[in-house]
Amino acid sequence: MQSKTFSVLSSCLLLIATVQGQLSGSVGPSTSISDKKAVKTCNVLDYGATNDNKTDVGQPIMNAFEDCGSGGVIYIPEGDYLIQEWVSLRNGTAFAIQLDGVIYRNGTTTSQGYMFGISGGSDFELYSSTSKGAIQGSGYLYHMNGEFTAPRLLHISDVSHWSVHDIALVDAPMFHFVIDDASNGEVYNMAIRGGNSGGLDGIDVSGDNIWIHDVMVTNKDECVTVKTGSHNFQIENIYCNWSGGCAMDSLGSGTNVSNIVYRNIYTWNSNQMYMIKSNGGDGEVSNLLFENFIGHGNAYSLDLDSEWSSMDTVDGDDGESRPPIRVICPEAIPCTDITIEDVDLWTEEGDSETYVCKNAFGSGACLKSDSSSTATYATTTTVTSAPSGYSATTMAADLTSAFGTDASIPIPTIPTSFYPGATPYSALAGSS
Ligand SMILES: *[C@@H]1O[C@H](CO)[C@@H](O)[C@H](O)[C@H]1NC(C)=O
Ligand SMILES: *[C@@H]1O[C@H](CO)[C@@H](O)[C@H](O)[C@H]1NC(C)=O
Ligand SMILES: *[C@@H]1O[C@H](CO)[C@@H](O)[C@H](O)[C@H]1NC(C)=O
Ligand SMILES: *[C@@H]1O[C@H](CO)[C@@H](O)[C@H](O)[C@H]1NC(C)=O
Ligand SMILES: *[C@@H]1O[C@H](CO)[C@@H](O)[C@H](O)[C@H]1NC(C)=O
């Protein structure tokens, strides 16, 4: 376990360029669950499934999709199911999966891939009407042997107008939830709880016009992370409850990211509160707004880092090698129009902290203001007292010790609060 800079960031406003990123249109499925049920319901128990936690539910879900995948609801009633055949559903339209049961990974399936993959098509919803549906990946069966190249849990790829909500994803053998090239999507009211290790990402997302809100992630890698090829995202009320933290990474060749808002992000005991990672590559990232971040016990706070891999060898353990504000841009391509405003950071265990800026222009922290200049520079500022107005609340139930990697991880209930003082946008489906 690395030691940390215990720093706090409250109310961070970072604006690159002048226009605020936001959603570009409506998100979520185009037709309601009741409309889909009016067309057809395909109960997996009628397609060969049994809720005995012994019979494979994978093939029955795919059989139900044959009948309900172009209009209807695939219904997985309450109960325990074993998944042995990974589910791949392609080009569905106007359909939903109502997962009220719990799906357990059969420890003997060896194929990697995704346990649950939805690709192509449009108008899709995956949800639990009781907010108790879950996919349990039992990743510890791999991790206890030091294996981390393993099945991932959930994949939404190239789907438009969709939502995933009110389910828990638990102990993925590898990543929990990958969203690729998807559009007009909504993700909310979710708990993701994985092992305490790198490589067990929470949500990795790319695509266009996606709203992710009211999500808790526990793991030791990506919390909610934007990948290249991302435009018009709103990411709000995110609780990184002992995680790696949120990021934008790893930006390489052909990077193209724009109009991204992160708002109300609470980060507890993570690697970072926000990090943009690159090293070489090309392309552009523009129009980002990071607003209202609160964090405690994180190694990095705000880190825009174009020399990311160079950090691999740094054995950081104080505010100097892991500065709470770090904006490092390439000499050849300086960053411009950055605003760092109302950012109060202080160490929870030391008596000073350091800000580092390099080839970055704008206002606030150690940034140089002359954006017409492309002169290279590097500067370090040491801060020896808490900023005035510094304060940061904690959440009532921060995780006090990590889930390990060698024992089964219990399925969580979905929280009803994800950021101090913020009310989730939608009530839990199971609360009505
Ligand atoms: C279901 O089966 C899996 C795999 O054998 C097991 O890990 C899990 O504990 C079982 N679930 C219940 C509720 O018994
Ligand atoms: C799904 O749709 C895409 C694009 O229309 C098509 O290329 C692909 O063959 C389809 N796949 C299946 C399995 O139908
Ligand atoms: C997985 O499936 C195989 C084949 O049906 C079965 O023998 C085995 O018991 C299952 N594993 C678990 C953990 O249930
Ligand atoms: C970046 O993505 C946007 C939106 O998809 C697109 O319009 C633009 O052409 C892309 N830029 C490059 C350089 O690929
Ligand atoms: C944070 O995570 C722990 C473990 O999953 C859980 O007990 C706690 O309730 C979570 N906090 C909240 C506010 O849900």
pLDDT the model gives residue 13:
42
How far is ligand 4, taken at its centre, from the CA of residue 256, in Å? 6
Is 81 within 8 Å of 60 (Cβ atoms)?
no
| 3-class DSSP state of 91 | coil
Answer yes or no: is pLDDT of 77 > 90.
yes
How far is ligand 3, taken at its centre, from the CA of residue 177, in Å? 25
Residues with catalytic roles: 221, 296
40-50: pLDDT as tens digits = 999 999 999 99
Exposure string (b/e) for 331-345, b if CB count within 10 Å is 16 or more? eeebbbebbbeebbb
Is 255 within 8 Å of 276 (Cβ atoms)?
no
Bridging pattern class, strands 325-328 and 122-127: unpaired
Is 155 within 8 Å of 135 (Cβ atoms)?
no
Residue ranges, comma separated, of all CATH 2.160.20.10 domains in the chain are 26-220
pTM of the model: 0.93
Ligand nearest to the CA of 122: 2
Which of 17-21, 231-235, 391-395 shows the lowest per-residue confidence on average (mean pLDDT)?
A: 17-21
Answer yes or no: is pLDDT of 107 > 80.
no
pLDDT the model gives residue 372:
67
> Mean per-residue pLDDT for 112-131?
97
pLDDT band for 303, please (50, 70, 90 cuts): very high
Answer yes or no: is pLDDT of 11 > 60.
no
Rounded to 5, what percent of the chain is helix, strand, coil? 10, 50, 45
How far is ligand 3, taken at its centre, from the CA of residue 81, in Å? 12
Is 427 within 8 Å of 415 (Cβ atoms)?
no
pLDDT the model gives residue 375:
79
168-211: pLDDT as tens digits = 999 999 999 999 999 999 999 999 999 999 999 999 999 999 99
In testing the pocket of ligand 1, which one of 52, 104, 136 has its CB within 8 Å of the most ligand atoms? 104
pLDDT band for 373, please (50, 70, 90 cuts): low
Q: Round to whole Å and give the CA distance between 33 and 20.
A: 33
Answer yes or no: is pLDDT of 16 > 70.
no
Would you say the CB of residue 193 lies under 6 angstroms from ligand 5? yes
Taking the CB of residue 423, how many other CB atoms lie within 10 A of it? 11
Answer yes or no: is pLDDT of 383 > 60.
yes
CA 51-82-177 angle, 5° bins: 120
pLDDT band for 350, please (50, 70, 90 cuts): confident
pLDDT the model gives residue 56:
96
Ligand nearest to the CA of 69: 2
pLDDT band for 333, please (50, 70, 90 cuts): confident
pLDDT the model gives residue 17:
41
How far is ligand 1, taken at its centre, from the CA of residue 410, in Å? 11
Pocket of ligand 3, beta carbon within 6 A: 82, 84, 106-108
pLDDT the model gives residue 310:
52
Q: Which of 172-186, 243-257, 269-283, 378-392 has the highest mean pLDDT?
A: 172-186
pLDDT the model gives residue 317:
42
Is 23 within 8 Å of 207 (Cβ atoms)?
no
pLDDT the model gives residue 61:
98
Ligand nearest to the CA of 253: 4
Give the amino acid at 219: N
Q: What token pair was written down for 286?
A: 């523009």
pLDDT the model gives residue 405:
92
Bridging pattern class, strands 203-218 and 245-251: unpaired
Which of 2-6, 33-37, 91-95, 169-173 shows the lowest per-residue confidence on average (mean pLDDT)?
A: 2-6
Is 238 within 8 Å of 264 (Cβ atoms)?
yes
Is 430 within 8 Å of 165 (Cβ atoms)?
no
Percentage of the chain lying above the pLDDT 70 cut: 91
To the nearest whole number, what is the mean pLDDT of the chain?
90
pLDDT band for 374, please (50, 70, 90 cuts): low
Nearest CA to ligand 2 atom 13: 90
241-264: pLDDT as tens digits = 999 999 998 888 999 999 999 999
Pocket of ligand 2, beta carbon within 6 A: 90-91, 120
pLDDT band for 392, please (50, 70, 90 cuts): confident
Percentage of the chain lying above the pLDDT 90 cut: 74
Q: Which architecture characterizes domain 26-220 according to CATH?
A: 3 Solenoid (2.160)
Is 140 within 8 Å of 408 (Cβ atoms)?
yes
Would you say the CB of residue 326 lies under 6 angstroms from ligand 4? no
How far is ligand 2, taken at its centre, from the CA of residue 38, in Å? 26
